[in-house]
Structure 1
Amino acid sequence: MAAVASSEQQQQHHQEKRIEDELSYPIMVAERVRAAADEADSFKTECSEVWKQVDRLLQMLRSLVRFATSAASSPGGPPLYERPVRRVASEASKNLDRALSLVRKCKRRSILRRVVTIVSAADFRKVLSYLEASIGDMRWLLSILDADGSAAAAGGGGGIVLSLPPIASNDPILSWVWSFIASVQMGQLNDRVEAANELASLANDNDRNKKIIVEEGGVPPLLKLLKESSSPVAQIAAASALCNLANDLERVRVIVSELGVPIVVQVLADSPMKVQIRVAQLVARMAEHDPVAQEDFARENAIRPLVTLLSFDTFVDDSMGQLGRQSIHSIVQINRELGKKTAMMGRSGNRPLTNSFSSFSHSEGSSRGGNHRKDRENEDPAVKLQLKVSCAEALWMLARGSVTNSRKITETKGMLCLAKLVEKEQGELQYNCLMTIMEITAAAESNADLRRAAFKTNSPAAKAVVEQLLRMIKEVDNPSLRIPAIKSIGSLARTFPARETRVIGPLVTQLSHRNTDVAAEAAIALNKFACPDNFLHVEHSKAIIEFNGVPALMRLLRANEITQLHGLILLCYLALHAGNSESLEQARVLTALEGADRAVIAQHPELRELVSRALIHLNLYHAGINSQRITYLP
């Protein structure tokens, strides 16, 4: 990625070196028009009119060259926004070439040439219209750049210009985008804020606008505004525009290639809360759509400030509880790792932990972090809540499908915070935290090292998470919350010892849930307990039967195809691992397996073998069954 960024920077630098050459060509052609007009033998009046228009264009081109040279030589000033300059200069060059070709035809030459070359007044009208269009384009370009220094022409000192240049007459959005980007890159602060908000609004309208903004170079100035501005309003405007752009892999990849990830992490760690809200949302959008962005955020250690912000004020009201005590220890540990000397924990109870969760600061921004601390403590509770919602969503998207990021969350003791928020909060914050836990447990299921490190049976964080997952399964009758809790317990199936039967009962109960999606997820989770890959599959299978899971499974076989499939798999596992159970015989499981839906089995060839093995195994234990029934499956 660094190599790609370096290559793009070199290419951009090369283009910057050529901008004067690109402007010098139409100036050279304009001078040739002057000479050709002086030498014209016919249509002298028309040629003179052409030269007048060319001369107006020439003066504007020279003003633009002076402005470009001044911008390039000014080390502290903003760089020239080149996209519209190149487009307008290219169009002007074409129109000047047309004018030169026409005027040259008016010079006296051989009789044959005069016969072949026929010039009419209509040709001059056409060329004059082209030149007038280029003059309009150039006037508009100078106004958005304020290259002539005229406040009136620039709409008030280089502000946003919404007039329509001829070059964009067929696509007004293009001229608006050019004007907004130029203001973001080169304008005064108020104009930059207004232009960034306009870009955010345009990007929010449709994907075509997003594509134009990115193609016309809108990302770098927005990142610069986000990084360098000391105005929270400007940072929010820039982050909002970038967030609205970041809903597509290619556009996110542009932000990443412009070294946007370290900028985003820096601002996230050291900004007022309202800025952090929007930046955390940007992290979530980028991580959601681009796995490369996920990796870059991990490299830039974005997890730690997100966990710190999510933990802010979380444990103040619960400092005496066991979970709270562990969390306080975790908070102190985080702060020590960040290089902080002390964790202020007043004995009188006045702000016992709030100072521990001041914004995570890089060395270059530590003073600014201190400036935000008091504002953070006195911030509106609604703003604090929204920040936590955004940070939880960002952690969710960073953890999704990523073992690396999931491990980093567990290493920062983030699971304790997530468990506490699942316990205490409701609504979007609770949901985002639960989904983050679901992604972490899914990563642990696929990675034995993470599973062993983060979900040891004696781990307070793991215990806290499991407690809240079980509570959600048993007490919260909301499928959108219950299903991720069930999935999480299923992902942790290999971590539970045989004696830990308390997780089996709630899952078995959900097999009878009226919502078929919940019932199906419960069957999937229990399959992970009873499957042969689980070392304790025999013990877990017996526990499922003891919790009266067989009758519920028999009912699942009469539901839709998905529940039938997973119910049938679980029933086969129970038959294979606990085939001598009387519960299986009493429930007529053998008959049920023989009568299993052939359509379901036909769509899943591996299920055919599993059902056959289960039938054979059951026949060994259950007397009085005709052995010919074993071969019932086609």
Structure 2
Amino acid sequence: MASPEEKRIEDELSYPILLAERVRAAAEEAESFKLECAEVGKQVDRLSQMLRTLVRSTTSVQSLYERPIRRVVSEASKNLERALALVRKCKRQSILRRVVRITSTTDFRKVLILLDASIGDMRWLMGVLDTNNNETASGIFLSLPPIASNDPIISYVWSYIATVQMGQLSDRIEAANNLTSHARDNDRNKKITVEEGGIPPLLKLLKEGSSPEAQIAAANALCVLANEEERVRSIVHEMGVPIVVQVLGDSPMKVQIPVAKLVAAMAEHDPLAKEDFARENVIRPLVTLLSFETFVEDSKTQLGKQSIHSIVQINKELDKISSTGTNSRNYSHKPYANSYSNLHMEGSSRGANHRKERENEKPEVKIQLKINCAEALWLLAKESVSNSRRITETKGLLCLAKLVETEQGELQYNCLMAIMEITAAAETNSDLRRAAFKTNSPAAKAVIDQLLTVIKELDSPTLQVRAIRSVGSLGRTFPARETRVIGPLVGQLDNKNQEVAVEAAIALQKFACPDNFLCMDHSKSIIEFNGVPPLMRLLRCGERTQLHSLALLCYLAIHAGDNEALVQARVLTALEGADRTVVTHHPELKELVTRAIYQLNLYHTGVHPQRQTYAP
């Protein structure tokens, strides 16, 4: 479609046709170089006939791909203007003007070459627009137009896009796959595809739902293009977000897999796309797909343990939820029980036509869909309080916790990353923290249980780091009596993997720092769990490890300075001899060390007779 500043395609075509008529008339009036002018006239006649044929072709096509037409016709117009200027020099003129305007056969040779190039471009263009031609319909027209001789890729992109927009279904699928293949080669090919108008026909192919294979081909192509903010923004500006959400909610599972991946790619690279997805409520279908078959066994087991009266009561609760749209928090003692029903009620308006097909899909297909949905939720939640809140409101936390418990590999990792981003958002937003992670919330309990399991039982530093970071983000949500999270974190200070140990120290800082209202209680708990000795050992490691272990020791000294464990571990001596390089590079640590030394001196004056005063 033409942009507002562009002429209509009919106007673009009428100008070179008018020029051709003028060249022919001027050639007939020529009095010098008559043979050369006649040759120019013949070439112009051929070009004019092709332009007129093109006009007839464009009027018969409903969805015309105009980009190559405009480029080829623009180039042809320039060449016709040059031909007209040359031929007009051959009319009867005064001796003076004939001397000033010297014309040679070389000039005619150059013009004939340009006209021949335009004829070649037109021949190629007519072939590309002929979607009934077997050679061109699939977007594999092998000849190279002269206009693209210096940049052959553009002619391939033009032919592929034209076929995606105007071809038969099987040819459109093949052309979309060819676009994907070329775009994967390098970012320049991606840029050309977007600049030459490739996104609208791909979105159209995705939206039409003419076949799952066509939607998959379109989604794959868009996903390859969506690896940079400007290109993602182009998809957004073409109203791609509503189309993607609609297809995600109402398509076969094998289509939903690349579409969920597309959501993840767009959310990762463009904040505007993330906001648009939030407005279109993409969270709901993603959580629904992620929860598919996740809670079935738990629901069956729980229902099997219920009395008839209990089942009737649960059904009444579910009916109430269905009719009012509210979420009941207390109809189950088990965090996961009945969540399957609740989740699928929320998303059942979409995808109902494909539920049976989903149930019969292969296990590897179901897992891949969940992997992509979890990744999409992770990247939507990243640095987004609003999306994180939406996930918690759709019972997404329960689903993520259950999958962390039952799954392994990429799915478990993606779910853990999503939880990490949600907890990070909760750390920065008190409303989200209070709403989603209050102590008596089944979802919060389920998440904490699984995070602690990962920390204590899994031998995977990658997963442990994410789980530790998530618990640290929730440091301000735990009451003083809730010490079950501190013990596992303290235990990881002795982890052989230094990254895990450092992450544990950082997480414990969030319990012991002054920003935490219960910092004194938590500091005492850390000491009681024997956290001081491993921190002292960490002081002998690298600069980053020293930095965080030293900061945590300072918090413990400031908030629990009268504890004998600090004296026995000679923390004061350690603080006084702290690495000056580390302290100097971090001014905030310098002040913290000074306060900690003062606090320890206040409680333990005279304990170390050879104590040295800290001098930065």
TM-score range, shorter chain: over 0.9
Query: For the residues of structure 1 that align with 2:454 and 2:188, how far apart are their CA atoms?
Result: 42
- Residue of structure 2 equivalent to 1:440: 422
Deviation at 1:322, TM superposition (A): 6.5
Quick one: structure 1 residues 256 and 628, their matched pair in 2 at CA, closer, same or farther if it must change by over 3 Å? farther
The one-letter amino acid paired with 1:497 is P
**Within-5 A mapping of 1:521-532:** 521-532=503-514
Query: For the residues of structure 2 that align with 1:406 and 1:373, how far apart are their CA atoms?
Result: 27
Query: For the residues of structure 1 that align with 2:144 and 2:532, how far apart are their CA atoms?
Result: 73
Quick one: structure 1 residues 334 and 612, their matched pair in 2 at CA, closer, same or farther if it must change by over 3 Å? farther
* Partner deviation per Cα, 1:178-210 (whole Å, 9 max, x = no partner): 000111111111111111101111111110100
* Contact kept in structure 1, 2:227 and 2:266, CA below 8 Å: yes
The one-letter amino acid paired with 1:90 is S
Work out whether 1:66 is the aligned partner of 2:48: no
* Contact kept in structure 1, 2:245 and 2:282, CA below 8 Å: yes
The one-letter amino acid paired with 2:419 is I
Work out whether 1:506 is the aligned partner of 2:488: yes
Aligned counterpart in structure 2 of residue 140 of structure 1, from 119, 124, 127: 124
- Residue of structure 2 equivalent to 1:85: 69
* Partner deviation per Cα, 1:102-131 (whole Å, 9 max, x = no partner): 111111211112222222222211111100
Deviation at 1:360, TM superposition (A): 4.0
Aligned counterpart in structure 1 of residue 97 of structure 2, from 113, 127, 138: 113
TM norm structure 1: 0.90
* Partner deviation per Cα, 1:277-316 (whole Å, 9 max, x = no partner): 0000000000001111111111000000000000000112
Quick one: structure 1 residues 162 and 229, their matched pair in 2 at CA, closer, same or farther if it must change by over 3 Å? farther
Moved more, 620-629 or 610-619: 620-629
Work out whether 1:336 is the aligned partner of 2:336: no
* Contact kept in structure 1, 2:343 and 2:394, CA below 8 Å: no
Query: For the residues of structure 2 that align with 1:580 and 1:320, how far apart are their CA atoms?
Result: 54
Work out whether 1:599 is the aligned partner of 2:581: yes
Three-state SS of the structure 2 residue aligned to 1:106 is coil
* Contact kept in structure 2, 1:593 and 1:611, CA below 8 Å: yes
Quick one: structure 1 residues 578 and 355, their matched pair in 2 at CA, closer, same or farther if it must change by over 3 Å? closer
* Contact kept in structure 2, 1:96 and 1:131, CA below 8 Å: yes
Aligned counterpart in structure 2 of residue 30 of structure 1, from 20, 42, 49: 20
Query: For the residues of structure 1 that align with 2:193 and 2:126, how far apart are their CA atoms?
Result: 20
The one-letter amino acid paired with 1:231 is S
The one-letter amino acid paired with 2:164 is V
**Within-5 A mapping of 1:95-114:** 95-114=79-98
Query: For the residues of structure 1 that align with 2:275 and 2:324, how far apart are their CA atoms?
Result: 21
- Residue of structure 2 equivalent to 1:308: 288
Question: Which runs of at least 4 in structure 1 moved beyond 3 Å after TM superposition?
Answer: 156-160, 320-326, 328-339, 352-362, 625-631
Gaps of 5+ in 1: 1-8, 72-76, 340-351
Query: For the residues of structure 1 that align with 2:453 and 2:315, how far apart are their CA atoms?
Result: 25
User: Percent of pairs identical after alignment?
Assistant: 72
Quick one: structure 1 residues 356 and 447, their matched pair in 2 at CA, closer, same or farther if it must change by over 3 Å? closer
* Contact kept in structure 2, 1:309 and 1:391, CA below 8 Å: yes
Three-state SS of the structure 2 residue aligned to 1:500 is coil
Cα RMSD (Å) of the superposition?
Answer: 2.6
- Residue of structure 2 equivalent to 1:536: 518
Deviation at 1:24, TM superposition (A): 1.4
Query: For the residues of structure 1 that align with 2:304 and 2:521, how far apart are their CA atoms?
Result: 34
Aligned counterpart in structure 2 of residue 458 of structure 1, from 440, 463, 468: 440
Quick one: structure 1 residues 158 and 289, their matched pair in 2 at CA, closer, same or farther if it must change by over 3 Å? closer
The one-letter amino acid paired with 2:159 is S
- Residue of structure 2 equivalent to 1:273: 253
Work out whether 1:223 is the aligned partner of 2:230: no
Deviation at 1:627, TM superposition (A): 9.2
TM norm structure 2: 0.92
* Contact kept in structure 1, 2:284 and 2:346, CA below 8 Å: no
Deviation at 1:55, TM superposition (A): 0.6
The one-letter amino acid paired with 1:58 is S
Work out whether 1:610 is the aligned partner of 2:601: no
- Residue of structure 1 equivalent to 2:328: none
Three-state SS of the structure 2 residue aligned to 1:501 is coil
Query: For the residues of structure 2 that align with 1:67 and 1:158, how far apart are their CA atoms?
Result: 19
Aligned counterpart in structure 2 of residue 238 of structure 1, from 194, 218, 229: 218
Three-state SS of the structure 2 residue aligned to 1:511 is helix
Query: For the residues of structure 2 that align with 1:445 and 1:376, how far apart are their CA atoms?
Result: 37
Quick one: structure 1 residues 606 and 134, their matched pair in 2 at CA, closer, same or farther if it must change by over 3 Å? same
* Contact kept in structure 1, 2:177 and 2:221, CA below 8 Å: yes
* Contact kept in structure 2, 1:403 and 1:447, CA below 8 Å: yes
* Partner deviation per Cα, 1:355-390 (whole Å, 9 max, x = no partner): 98599466xxx6xx3331211110011100000000
Query: For the residues of structure 1 that align with 2:39 and 2:317, how far apart are their CA atoms?
Result: 78
- Residue of structure 2 equivalent to 1:572: 554
- Residue of structure 2 equivalent to 1:342: none
Quick one: structure 1 residues 444 and 354, their matched pair in 2 at CA, closer, same or farther if it must change by over 3 Å? closer
Deviation at 1:317, TM superposition (A): 2.1
Aligned counterpart in structure 1 of residue 181 of structure 2, from 189, 194, 201: 201
- Residue of structure 1 equivalent to 2:333: none
Moved more, 618-627 or 118-127: 618-627
Query: For the residues of structure 1 that align with 2:530 and 2:440, how far apart are their CA atoms?
Result: 29
How many correspondences in the alignment? 597
- Residue of structure 2 equivalent to 1:420: 402
- Residue of structure 1 equivalent to 2:370: 388
Quick one: structure 1 residues 441 and 590, their matched pair in 2 at CA, closer, same or farther if it must change by over 3 Å? same
The one-letter amino acid paired with 1:87 is R
Three-state SS of the structure 2 residue aligned to 1:534 is coil
Query: For the residues of structure 2 that align with 1:355 and 1:143, how far apart are their CA atoms?
Result: 55
Deviation at 1:156, TM superposition (A): 5.9
Deviation at 1:132, TM superposition (A): 0.5
The one-letter amino acid paired with 1:457 is T
- Residue of structure 2 equivalent to 1:192: 172
